[in-house]
Chains A and B, each alone.
Chain A
Amino acid sequence: MSQLASLTLYHNDEARPIIEAIIADNPGVRVLNMPGAVKLDCEGALVVKRASVEERLGREWDPQEIHLVLISMAGHLDEDDDQFSVSWKH
């Protein structure tokens, strides 16, 4: 049975580079647009890479800044200095 890892973010200018980085780095990601929010789902795991966000943002980005635009999530979370991920893997 399917196990989707998921992140829901604000749909605004601040979150846009993060959304774009997620779409680029997670092949097969499903995008559900809602007014004000966007839900990104991916089978098994979903990762946000600091380098990908920085490339789009044009400045340094601390993965913990995701707290400012994160609305919801599903999966076990892991964060370090280089990435932020949710997954159902052990």
Chain B
Amino acid sequence: MSVVALTPDYEKHIEFRDLEKNFHGNRVVYLHWEQHLSFCSAIAFPLPPSMPFAAFVEAIVKPHYAAHPDFQRIDWSQVVWMIDDEKKTPDMDKSLEENGVKHKSLVRFWTPGLEGYKGSAS
């Protein structure tokens, strides 16, 4: 144990506050559109692991980024996806889980040719 604690059995009393089982059947998934920092950070969603990746794109990714002027120009066939540091081509018909999205996974995507408002990454 690395924490220095007053009680020797401190470890026994730890509450892991964000275990997957606390999210009522969902897991936390983080999503981030690269080079578009108008969205100040990655955004978080509680999602069922069985959600198809295609549904994730349609129901989660698109509506939450639609406000950006670059959004209409996205060529979705060219999007580069990364799941937890690994560049991947997700299988749209398969679930988040089958595509390797775990509890608290980070899904980042790049839209080639689009680099934010006037190329400022905003």
* A–B contact (CB under 8 angstroms): no
